[in-house]
Amino acid sequence: EQPWAYPNLCASQRVQQSPAPSISNSEGDILFLLDSSGSVSYYEFSKVKEFMWDLVRPFTFGPNDVQTSIIHISTTPTMEFPFDRYLSRGTVQQAIRDTRQLMGDTNTGKALSFAKEKLFSNDAGARPDVPKVLVWVTDGFSSDDISEPMQLLKDMGVTVFIVSTGRGNYLELSAAASQPPEKHLHFVDVDDLPIITKELRDAMLANRLRVVDITSSSFRLTWPQLLSQETGYYTLQYAPTDDLAAKRTTQVSGAHTSLTLSNLAPETTYEVALVPESNIHYFPPQTIRVTTLVHCAPPGASWYHELHAHSYLFMLLSEEISPAQILISDSRPHSFQVSWAPTPDSVTSYQVLYGPLRGNSAQLLEVDGTHNSTVVENLAPNTTYLVTVTAIYSSGMEKSLSAKACTQEGERATWAPTP
């Protein structure tokens, strides 16, 4: 890839692109809101185009990876190209290079309303269930109001990053950017845009579902704090890519930002989806593909390898089924019964973790491995609880399954006159 070259810039003014590692497995639609009005000089416009390309250059482009588009801020908003037109590094680079300034007024509010329409439009090549990121590069000036259309975008789950190359109004821009502003708002001179490129790119990736600590039978998922216990919960769905019908589902409260999935098959690729269930804002599901590592035995111990392989397979077969389902019954104002099935011999105990879906507390019950039910007591009436049953195996491995449970309304107190 060659550095950008403009005939009117001397060599010292050109930004040399430093090598950056390729970033794959990051699905999302990235929309650039580009100030193309007459308040921006040709030189500034060229530097912003360099910055845009350098920001997305390491990503892998495609229908299952990153797609990008540009909307011009001018008298009338204009889309430079739809999301699904350029799906390789070379074509995206050339499309950004070929982008020409439109001049006109700085009607940013109109452009934001137009962006809201296109970010969720099939005609524009946008995808319905992928993360949406808006990057607005501005000189800090707008001819119309931006507060309402920007809030509508954020309410629909769009993450907004703002880069101001002018003075700008800090209070206005910090309110427009996603929270917290220290991660989503940057003030920088147009010649110093390369300084913030990596930081901004890392912040964009931090707003995604990611995977760490991969082993042959487990991996840990991490995600940004989108919810709280008061505003919703997360549903996680995962299945091998070659057997999507074997999908498993678990739920965790909105206070969680990570979860370890265990009891997985070695050397297997899984499709994972994180679905934030919010009662305030819409957050699009996030997906990721993860491949577990190869399972290895100690070198030179062939008998150990064979025995361990058989026991591992048995462990998978047995642990796949417990707990396979959770049943909530006998719900009362201050208690309910939790049952699960089945109860294989390899389970030493069960842990029942429960807490109000909109609360900050959780309690733990220990249940012997020979039992498959327990009564949860001392609960608040007319309250939704998240209940997680974890099977603890003699091997040390664990399997969890969650369900929601609701207590009944309490009996109304009646008044009677004293005899």
Predicted confidence at residue 6, as pLDDT, reads 32
- State mean pLDDT over 172-186: 88
Query: Per mean pLDDT, which range of 102-106, 244-248, 253-257, 295-299 is the poorest?
Result: 295-299
Residue with the bigger pLDDT between 360 and 380: it is: 380
**What is the pLDDT confidence band of residue 322, given thresholds at 50, 70 and 90?**
low
Best CA proximity match to 309, nearest among 270, 345, 267: 267
What angle separates helix 147-155 from helix 108-119, to the nearest 10 degrees?
Answer: 20
Residue 208 backbone phi and psi in degrees, to 5: -120, 160
Q: Please state, in angstroms and as integers, the Cα–Cα distance from residue 146 to each residue in 136, 168, 169, 241, following that order.
A: 12, 13, 12, 43
Using pLDDT thresholds of 50, 70 and 90, give the confidence band for residue 394. confident
Mean pLDDT of 114-130: 89
Reported confidence tier of residue 341, pLDDT bands at 50, 70, 90: confident
Non-local (6+) Cβ contacts of 61 within 8 A are 67, 68, 86, 87, 88, 89, 92
Tens digits of residue pLDDT in 38-84: 989 999 999 999 999 999 988 889 988 899 999 999 999 999 999 99
Give the confidence band of 32 by pLDDT, cuts at 50, 70, 90: very high
Delineate the domains of the chain, giving CATH numbers in brackets: 11-206 (3.40.50.410), 209-296 (2.60.40.10), 321-410 (2.60.40.10)
Tell me the residue type at 36.
S
Per-residue pLDDT at 236 exceeds 90:
yes
**Mean per-residue pLDDT of the chain:** 80
Please report, in angstroms and rounded to a whole number, the separation of the first and last CA atoms in the chain. 94
Nearest to 203 by CA among 230, 181, 235: 181
Question: Closest Cα to residue 94, out of 137, 61, 121, 120?
Answer: 61
What pTM was estimated for this model as a whole?
0.54
Neighbour tally for 243: CB within 10 Å: 10
Residues 6+ apart with CB under 8 A from 44: 139, 165, 190
Highest-confidence segment of 64-78, 190-204, 227-241, 292-306:
64-78
Residue 360 has pLDDT above 70, yes or no: no
Helices (H) and strands (E) in the chain, counts: 8, 20
pLDDT at 202 over 70: yes
Whole-angstrom CA distances from 401 to 136, 250, 366 are: 42, 6, 15
- Closest among 279, 284, 180, 288 to 233, alpha carbons compared: 279
CA dist., res. 400 & res. 390, Å (int): 4
Question: Which pLDDT belongs to residue 33?
Answer: 96
Q: Is residue 276 helix, strand or coil?
A: strand
The whole-angstrom distance between residue 294's C-alpha and the CA centroid of its chain comes to: 27
